[in-house]
Amino acid sequence: MSDNIFNDYDGPDRTPDSFAGADTINPSAGLSGSRELGALFSKLINRLGRFYAIDKASLSFYDGTTGRLRVTHIYENRSLKAGLALNFSVKRSTMYQVLMQGYPVSDNYPEHISGNIIEKKILLSSGARSVLIVPLVFEGVRMGLLSLASVNESVFGLYLEGIGEGMVADFVEKLGEMLNSPARHA
């Protein structure tokens, strides 16, 4: 993935710590081990799996206070690992660049996607030939990312044509509601 696709970046609209009703919110702190979030993420992967051969998926949140991405869920080998707390710096991060640009990126040459070894392990399955990274934006807040990988070539091009966007939008809406719920701020 070449860096020139990110040249239109104007900066973030809002970061997760600017949700209404709170001074700061670390979205992954309250939700990373949440059964509700795990069920919501699993449902999304199952729904998207009707259209795409998904070999690996990850859910990560952006913590603006630390400037790090935090991976909380990984789906691989037909199982979900939840409650993770894998943090990594956004320095030279493809995932961070996609989050900041605010629109999804599909790549059919995932071996070139990042120079960051940790990021490659998060994004790619063994033999991955296609990857999709989708920013999760709720009411102008760039919360995090959904990443999908497949061993099938060019499989995620259909997402850019709208297949599955509604499913991800529903997920983002429910996620935003979970993060903004009064119980999370207490």
Three state DSSP letters for 136-165: EEECCEEEEEEEEEECCCCHHHHHHHCCCH
Cβ proximity of 57 and 7 under 8 Å:
no
Cβ proximity of 70 and 86 under 8 Å:
yes
pLDDT at 19: 42
pLDDT at 182: 55
Secondary structure percentages of the chain, helix, strand, coil, to 5? 40, 25, 35
Listing DSSP states for 23-36 in one string gives S---HHHHHTT-HH
pLDDT at 32: 53
pLDDT at 180: 77
The span from the CA of 92 to the CA of 126, in Å, is: 23
pTM: 0.82
Query: At 92, which amino acid appears?
Result: R
Tens digit of pLDDT at every position of the chain (186 positions)? 434 333 333 444 444 444 433 323 455 445 555 788 999 999 999 999 999 999 999 999 998 888 889 999 999 988 998 878 788 888 788 999 999 999 999 999 887 777 688 888 899 988 999 999 999 999 999 999 999 999 999 999 999 899 999 999 999 999 988 877 755 544
- Measured over the CA atoms of residue 123, residue 98, residue 107 and residue 79, the dihedral's sign is positive
Query: Domains of the chain by range and CATH?
Result: 3-185 (3.30.450.40)
